[in-house]
Amino acid sequence: MAQQAVTEYHAEAHDPTYNTSTGLSNRKLLMWAFLASDVMFFGTFIATYLIYRNRSQVGPYPEDVLDIPITTISTFVLLMSSLAMVLALHYVREDSKGPGRFWIFMTALLGGVFIVFQIVEFSVFANEGLTPRTNLFGSTFFILTGFHGAHVTIGVLWLLMLLYGHFRGTLRSDNSLDLEIAGLYWHFVDIVWIVIFTVVYLVTANDGPPPGAPPFIHHG
């Protein structure tokens, strides 16, 4: 066991993907750098949403369209996908092919279910008269949540490619770093959604028309 650990250490030391002063692989370090830059994008969109909060002069307003119970369910689904990702990485590292494939698939499936929730929500909002061009709330809401939805979609496609690679034998325990990097991205997307859910759905869900603006009356 000790000899195996020494062998693996020397293999990593001579592997250019591990040749960094931080002790992290170049690829993992690159992913952390990407996520750090993505924090700035999401931070900008969230700040913009809060800056323009309660400034829409026409409806629908958040209180007219946001559905906390439904979004809570979709949030739970996305959080469970992070647990599935942890299990997927564990079993791939253990070289347990069946459970590894199952949990990679479940992570992608749960992410897909979240996207379906979001598509349905957007459709309902459009029927209620809220689009990105309706008012400031619509513009900031769709840009923020749509940007996040695009990230989830990319993550689902990435996981499906890894699942395909696992079936072909290109994703194995000795190169599970591929899945670990995807897991970093996936957990980041989940954490960002917790912030969005808190800010948009919990903090501002009861916002109505600002002073002087007319209440929204749905004519559909």
Rounded to whole angstroms, how far apart are CA atoms 28 and 63? Answer: 42
Cβ density class 109-145: b for 16+ within 10 Å, e for less: bbbbbbbebbeebbeebeebbbeeebbbbbbbbbebb
CA-wise closest residue to 145 among 84, 66, 79, 77: 66
Burial class (CB in 10 A: 0-12, 13-18, 19+), 80: middle
- The DSSP string of 164-195 is HHHHHT-S-GGGTHHHHHHHHHHHHHHHHHHH
Half-sphere exposure of 184 (CA within 13 A, CB side): 16
Q: What is the pLDDT of residue 101?
A: 94
Domains observed in the chain: 34-203 (1.20.120.80)
Q: How close are the terminal C-alpha atoms of the chain, in Å? A: 70
Tens place of pLDDT per residue across the chain (220 aa): 444 434 444 444 444 445 555 566 788 899 999 999 999 999 999 999 999 999 999 989 999 999 999 999 999 999 999 999 999 999 999 989 899 999 999 999 999 999 999 999 999 999 999 999 999 999 999 999 999 999 999 999 999 999 999 988 888 888 889 999 999 999 999 999 999 999 999 999 999 988 887 888 876 5
CA-wise closest residue to 174 among 163, 184, 166: 166
Structure tokens given for 33: 């750098």
Q: What is the pLDDT of residue 210?
A: 87
